[in-house]
Structure 1
Amino acid sequence: MSDVKSLMLEEAGQSPSVVAGLLEKETSTFASIAKLFADIKPSVVSTAARGSSDHAATFFKYLFEIKCGIPVASIGPSIASVYGAPLQLKNGVHFTVSQSGASPDIVALQETAKKGGATTIAVVNVTDSPLARQADIVLDICAGPERSVAATKSFIASAAALAGVTAAVSGDQDLASALRKLPDALSSTSGLETAAAEDRLLQASSLYISGRGPAFAIALEAALKSKETAGLHAEAFSLAELMHGPMRLIDRGFPIIAFTPEDAAYENNAAALAHLEKLGASVISLSTRPSTGLGLQSTTTGNTLLDPLVSLLVYYRIIESVTRRKGFDPDKPANLLKVTETV
């Protein structure tokens, strides 16, 4: 394995400063979005995104529904770009999440959402992109250039920015306080010993990654990174879903990575993982407290719904190391480009 530090690892390590910067710089944008919600009182929110950005939108869905009680629905970009269908979104709010803001399909859907009556908000890293130029409100994730194909700091920044939206709209001071602590919690993950977890993944040919609520969105992101960087097949499931059909594949040594924050689902998650261990699963838990199986413990932000973002940075370091130990370049995955433009 090369000792040269990858761009993926370097950029993931920039996440604490990126989050701190965006929370400071985008204060007025958060306030504008909160005012928008207060003025129009939407009964539903829609989102559109691809890849890692879609996982950030899923994180937002769970967080926003829990804290604000407003349903959040994901709309497939092909509804507009391929099928040309109109949308009825009168008095709605539509978020598009994109690092580049360049893919034609999400730009087309944002235009369709606007024509359908929605106020559009672009959550982007490139503020002079086609998506941003067309949007009613632009929320800059302030991640700066990201050269590795694998999105790390831009994902964490997108999720943090959307958590900032949630805190502003809900007025939840606990969430706002936790966001201010998020950069320090992310920084505290540096130096955590992960070799045992890496060794288990090096021996794997397939694995499950699980979580519930906002942590399920983090599981989706983790599974994508496993596939695109390490070439390791991974499927993400809610732990509730994993206890159904997918459990059929569990046998001796089958790896399961579980994001298990100390939220309302923690006790149910712990019971499920204990059962899976009895079936032979090799469980790796990422949490803020000692947990089932091989536990990797991180610092809490003070809000259990936000803590999976801290655990994700631990995971990014694990999968980056596994990728290099397998002889792959995490910055240049086979068959992939940094910006993918789809229709």
Structure 2
Amino acid sequence: MTDDPQIATRSETDTLMHAEAAEASAAVRRLIAANGDTLAALGARLRAAPPAVVVTCARGSSDHAATYGKYLIETLVGVPVASAAPSVASVYEASVTSPAMLCIAISQSGRSPDLLASVAAQKAAGAHVVALVNDTTSPLAEAADTLVPLMAGPEKSVAATKSYITALAALALLAAEWAGDDTLKAAVRTLPDRLAQAWSCDWSAGREALVDATNLFVIGRGFGLAIAQEAALKLKETCALHAEGFSAAEVRHGPMEIVDAGFPLIAFATSDSAGDGVREAAAEFTTRSARVLLADAKGGGTLPALADHPAIEPILMIQSFYRMANALSVARGLNPDAPRHLSKVTRTL
């Protein structure tokens, strides 16, 4: 807990993180309006001439969004997706000899040197660069062949929230257009209203269970793996809480060994078969008397979760999580807007 009286008396609704995360619904509405035609045209282009492989370029929360995009593209379209290692271009100065044909770069600021070097290497090899970026004046935006502004608006809290959600929404719409999936396209169109509902879900049980925690696991699978990774990062950033994100399939290997009575777990279970794997893992944790916080789109979990298209459910869950993480940070006597050792733009080389 902090000795700073201003932080100690802060309300959870007084933070920038709370205000900005609450804007996700409006931000996604702007994203769809601004990029609907662009993504429809890109989807038609990709259907006519599918790339052999897609390469994503991102770090941090944006790389978690790229994981979500990987599952969408590989399941809906069948094209392999690989994550570029930015240091290959920025540190080793290696060139790309096989063009990906499609490079998806994701960034809030669009200014990190290693990200830009990686994108430049892909473009030099002949890849078509799609940039999902919040700052349309950035070098990444200028380098794009197809620019997709995230339309999140100013985000002053160090913890990215609405820009992450808009990146997920953009990837969902891109994949839906590429696959010609009318069901998913319709689900994306309803996402702004559903996000508003997700923001109202009561996750106070999570705050109460984790206020004195020191370590925990966060698990998901399939479309939900990306938000497990993101939630673990946010718990580190905003709550100074050691959290590790795992696939529900991987957590049963080495990580399960350290789980004993009272060990906390957040589990994100979608309504599809991947979610079944999460529910099975959560049940196994329960037999070890772990403290399981289950967000289950099929209902009955500790944390309320909205049912929707399985690809959309993780976006709704992370919106509910953000509100809880902000409240947990304040309850632990911290300032979620300004973590001690972090800055808003990370300029890695």
CA distance in 1, matches of 2:21, 2:212: 25
Give 3-state SS (helix, strand or coil) of 1:242's partner. Answer: coil
The answer as to whether partners of 1:188 and 1:298 remain within 8 angstroms in 2 is: no
1:341 aligns with 2:332: no
CA distance in 2, matches of 1:79, 1:291: 45
The answer as to whether partners of 2:101 and 2:128 remain within 8 angstroms in 1 is: yes
Give 3-state SS (helix, strand or coil) of 1:284's partner. Answer: strand
Residues 79-118 of structure 1 aligned to structure 2 (within 5 Å): 79-90=88-99, 92-118=101-127
Correspondence for 2:215: 206
Give 3-state SS (helix, strand or coil) of 2:249's partner. Answer: helix
Structure 2 unpaired stretches of 5+? 1-8
Residues 257-336 of structure 1 aligned to structure 2 (within 5 Å): 257-291=266-300, 295-300=302-307, 302-336=308-342
1:255 aligns with 2:264: yes
Aligned-residue offset at 1:203: 2.1
Residues 103-182 of structure 1 aligned to structure 2 (within 5 Å): 103-182=112-191
Give 3-state SS (helix, strand or coil) of 2:234's partner. Answer: helix
CA distance in 1, matches of 2:55, 2:100: 11
Equivalent position amino acid for 1:310 in 2: L
Aligned-residue offset at 1:281: 1.1
The answer as to whether partners of 2:24 and 2:162 remain within 8 angstroms in 1 is: yes
Correspondence for 1:239: 248
The answer as to whether partners of 1:26 and 1:139 remain within 8 angstroms in 2 is: yes
Equivalent position amino acid for 1:342 in 2: T
CA RMSD of aligned residues (A): 1.3
The answer as to whether partners of 2:102 and 2:130 remain within 8 angstroms in 1 is: yes
Aligned-residue offset at 1:194: 2.2
Give 3-state SS (helix, strand or coil) of 2:168's partner. Answer: helix
CA distance in 2, matches of 1:182, 1:102: 29
Aligned-residue offset at 1:91: 6.0
Correspondence for 2:203: 194
The answer as to whether partners of 2:269 and 2:276 remain within 8 angstroms in 1 is: no
The answer as to whether partners of 2:262 and 2:291 remain within 8 angstroms in 1 is: yes
Aligned-residue offset at 1:89: 3.5
Equivalent position amino acid for 1:143 in 2: A
CA distance in 1, matches of 2:305, 2:194: 8
CA distance in 2, matches of 1:266, 1:49: 26
Which one of the candidate residues 51, 69, 91 is aligned to 2:60?
Answer: 51
Correspondence for 1:13: 22
C-alpha distance after superposition, 1:160-190 (max 9, x if no partner): 1111110110000111011011111110123
Q: TM-score, normalised by structure 1?
A: 0.96
Report the more deviating stretch, 51-60 or 33-42: 33-42
Equivalent position amino acid for 1:131 in 2: L
CA distance in 1, matches of 2:140, 2:317: 30
Give 3-state SS (helix, strand or coil) of 1:26's partner. Answer: helix
CA distance in 2, matches of 1:160, 1:255: 29
CA distance in 1, matches of 2:24, 2:179: 25
Aligned-residue offset at 1:18: 0.6
The answer as to whether partners of 2:54 and 2:100 remain within 8 angstroms in 1 is: no
The answer as to whether partners of 1:48 and 1:96 remain within 8 angstroms in 2 is: yes
Equivalent position amino acid for 1:339 in 2: V
CA distance in 1, matches of 2:278, 2:300: 10
CA distance in 2, matches of 1:290, 1:39: 40
CA distance in 2, matches of 1:313, 1:186: 7
The answer as to whether partners of 2:271 and 2:310 remain within 8 angstroms in 1 is: yes
Aligned-residue offset at 1:150: 0.2
CA distance in 2, matches of 1:146, 1:10: 10
Correspondence for 1:2: 10
C-alpha distance after superposition, 1:179-217 (max 9, x if no partner): 011111110123322222111111211000000011011
Correspondence for 2:3: none
Aligned-residue offset at 1:35: 3.0
Percent of residue pairs identical: 41
